[in-house]
Structure 1
Amino acid sequence: MITPRERVLGRIADHLVGLGRPLRVAVDGITASGKTTLARELTAAVAARGRSAAHLSMDGFHNLRAVRHRQGRDSADGYYLDAYDFRSFSRLVLEPLGPGGDHRYRERIIDLRSDTPLDEPPITAPDDLVLVVDGSFLQRELEWDEVVFVDTPFEVAFERGTRRDTELLGGLPEAQRAFEQRYHAASRRYLDEVGPAERASVVVGNADVTHPVLHRIGGAADAVVNLFSYGTLQTPPVQVEHFGRTLAGKEDVLPGYRQDWVTITDPAVIAVSGTDRHPIVRRTGDPADATSGTMLELTTTELAAADVYEVDDYRRALVRLGSEAEAWVYLAGGHGANSVDGSVA
């Protein structure tokens, strides 16, 4: 049975798989928020959906120790401003994988443990690569295609980080001092100056690692996204029950798909929709086939709520409607070329 964590990571992976290629994805957050673990699991979830995926850590793009510590070993400003070589990272990773790039990128430029510069040959990325990068302060200077912000309270991250780094930093008191004076002091400055959670395209609450919460997906806090609905979500009572309001929408069609029906067993879905019989459409590729529905406008918080509501058999993908507008739809079990689900759609 799928765990709550696997479910949330799967929804984020579905979102990434539905976007352009190659895709540069940051996993951002305060120190010890759980970025590295989430990045590795997200990379695996993307790969499990049939798309090329790789994980890269910003540990390989630190500045040399003499630069990192030039303002003092405990300096928060030194950590915030001097820890990472963002300029080299942009030149050697983000630009090659961006528009017009040659897809040849570097995995690291330093061995952090030995403080030794590295000059390793570049890797050639496949055209469909999703590169997932974890690190701190990733929205301060860098431009990404998608940003996942791992939202963990300071008190939770402090307990995790000091326990994790007790041996590395010479004991628990030393670890606690380092987090208070350097790591989390720098993280607070980052939150104040940049507002990374508001800018991120995905926000995941990670206070409880076994039950993460998908707060937002699909864009920044003020973004609006399109979701094509051909089922119960078109009805105002279901919209009010699910989102607390009625949604703006326009009639549209999904070309090349034919409607069928599916029986839903999730009690929560049945309770909201009032029925266990929901429409499902399958891709035929025949231009004579089309499914009528409504293109709804949702906030990114509402899209996250729709993702959470959807039963696990279905995945979300980006399609072009008859109006030529792009919209998200829910797929039955497969990827974008397969069938579209209507359990809330």
Structure 2
Amino acid sequence: MIVRNRVLGRIADHLAQQRPGHPLRVAVDGITASGKTTLARELTAALAERGRTAAHLSMDGFHNPRVVRHRLGRDSADGYYADAYDFASFERLVLEPLGPGGDRKYRQRIIDLRSDAPIDEPPVEAPEDLVLVVDGSFLQRELTWDEVVFVDTPFEVARERGTRRDTELLGGLEQAKRAFDQRYHAASRRYLDEVGPAVRATIVLGNADLADPVLRRIGGPAGAVVNLFSYGTLQTPSVQLEHFGRELKGEQDLLPGFRQDWVTITDPAVIAVSGTDRHPIVRHTGDPADTTAGTVLEVTTEELAAADVYEVDDYRRALVRLGSGADAWVYLAQR
């Protein structure tokens, strides 16, 4: 699981940098049995390791009562899509209080899914720097988020995982297969067709292989462009062509308050592309007399993901203010 831990660490680094002035509301979205809950728990733990206050919440606690969920029939895909979740209550009781101008007092659940009993618990007050990680289905249909992670898993892989997981719950393997085909994944296909959640998400993770997930995009929706400040090998055209498939546009700039150092790279793939095992690395000093020269590169969110994969674990990505006044992502020393 080394690759998984590294990729999830990159996502956690990215989320940990976000400070919008209110708790950060993060959705972990995807088709049924794509691996959303597992990923949400892993991200919550990784954020806590990075010093951010983080909490995990599941949309299981915001289902509609059974009489509403099943009013179109237990096997209805349209019923699952339209009636499974109480999105209005979730927006009112969770997302709005944690959003701009909210009082930060939010509910963690309103129903016990198994017993179908309503729950009236007092709200929890969130610290301003909280990262709330929420897993569920159809999360981009009508809800407001600060970041969205889309867990991109093929239907055939999710079906195998889900039917194995829910065999006992759904009354047997054949019943589980029928439920996924007729209800859960039929509704998920409608969601993909109508909403296009992978395109809208700010982070996309290929999760077909749990041990070897693929970071496909990070930093914004499809087509977005962000600034990446490079003081090292990413300024080299050959490295850009290898990892981005094109030469990038850039402008010279300075990173104040950071001093350049050197690190020895042991990853043979990185050495092969860069041509050296000695790479520059910068460390924060806070001294304005310390400056690091480099280039601000315009990259797509897909290319930012490729840069995350290229950089070794000695580096972490952070958001900084450059000498020109522009904000940019940069890879700094891990510690």
TM-score interval w.r.t. the shorter chain?
Answer: over 0.9
**TM-score if structure 1 supplies the norm length?**
0.95
Superposed, 1:195-274 pairs within 5 Å as: 195-274=196-275
**Aligned counterpart, 1:54:** 55
Give 1:113 deviation, angstroms: 0.8
Within 5 Å, which residues of 2 pair with 1:292-303? 292-303=293-304
User: 1:118 maps to which residue?
Assistant: 119
Alignment partner of 1:128 is 2:144: no
Matched residue SS, 1:265 = coil
Distance 1:36 1:73 in 2: 23
1:100 aligned counterpart, secondary structure: coil
Match of 1:18 in 2: 17
Please report how far the alpha carbon of residue 292 of structure 1 lies from its aligned counterpart in structure 2 after TM superposition: 1.1
Q: 5 Å matches for 1:265-344?
A: 265-334=266-335
Post-superposition Cα deviations, 1:259-288, rounded to whole Å, max 9, x if no partner, equal: 122221211111111111111222111112
CA distance in 2, matches of 1:262, 1:164: 45
Instruction: Give the CA deviation at 1:199.
Output: 0.5
Work out the percentage of aligned pairs sharing the same amino acid. 82
Which amino acid letter does the alignment assign opposite residue 250 of structure 1?
A: E
Farther off after superposition, 262-271 or 87-96:
262-271
Deviations along 1:149-204, whole A, 9 cap, x unmatched?
00000011111111111111111111111111110000000000000001101111
Query: Match for residue 83 of structure 1?
Result: 84
Q: Distance in 2 between matches of 1:154 and 1:36?
A: 17
Corresponding letter in the other structure for 2:237? P
Alpha-carbon offset, residue 225 of structure 1: 1.0
Offset at 1:255?
Answer: 1.0
In 1, the alpha carbon distance for the partners of 2:321 and 2:29 equals 30
Q: Residue 142 of structure 1 aligns with which residue? A: 143
Q: CA offset at residue 290 of structure 1? A: 1.3
Q: Offset of 1:235 from its aligned partner?
A: 1.7
Q: Hey, what's the Cα distance between the residues in 1 that align with 2:214 and 2:2?
A: 13
- Residue 222 of structure 1 aligns to which amino acid in structure 2? G
SS at structure 1 position matched to 2:127: coil
2:158 is the counterpart of 1:157 = yes
Which whole-Å CA distance do the structure 1 matches of 2:208 and 2:242 have between them?
A: 27
Match of 2:8 in 1: 9
Counterpart code for 2:13: D
Contact kept, 8 Å, 1:242 with 1:272, in 2: the verdict is no
Shift of 1:123: 0.8
Per-residue CA deviation, residues 51-107 of structure 1 (Å, 9 max, x unaligned), is 101000000000000110111111101000000000110111111111111111110
Query: Which letter does structure 2 place at the counterpart of 1:239?
Result: Q
Aligned length: 333
Distance 2:98 2:324 in 1: 31
Relative to the length of structure 2, the TM-score reads 0.98
Q: Which amino acid aligns with 1:317?
A: A
Letter in 2 for 1:130: V
Q: What amino acid is aligned across from residue 85 of structure 1 in structure 2?
A: D
CA distance in 1, matches of 2:242, 2:170: 50
- Whole-Å separation in 2 of the counterparts to 1:324 and 1:92: 38
| Unpaired segments ≥5 residues, structure 1 | 335-345
Unaligned runs of 5+ in 2: none
Query: In 1, distance between residues paired with 2:182 and 2:267?
Result: 48
Partner of 1:171: 172
What is the rounded CA distance, in whole Å, between the counterparts of 2:49 and 2:231 in structure 1? 28
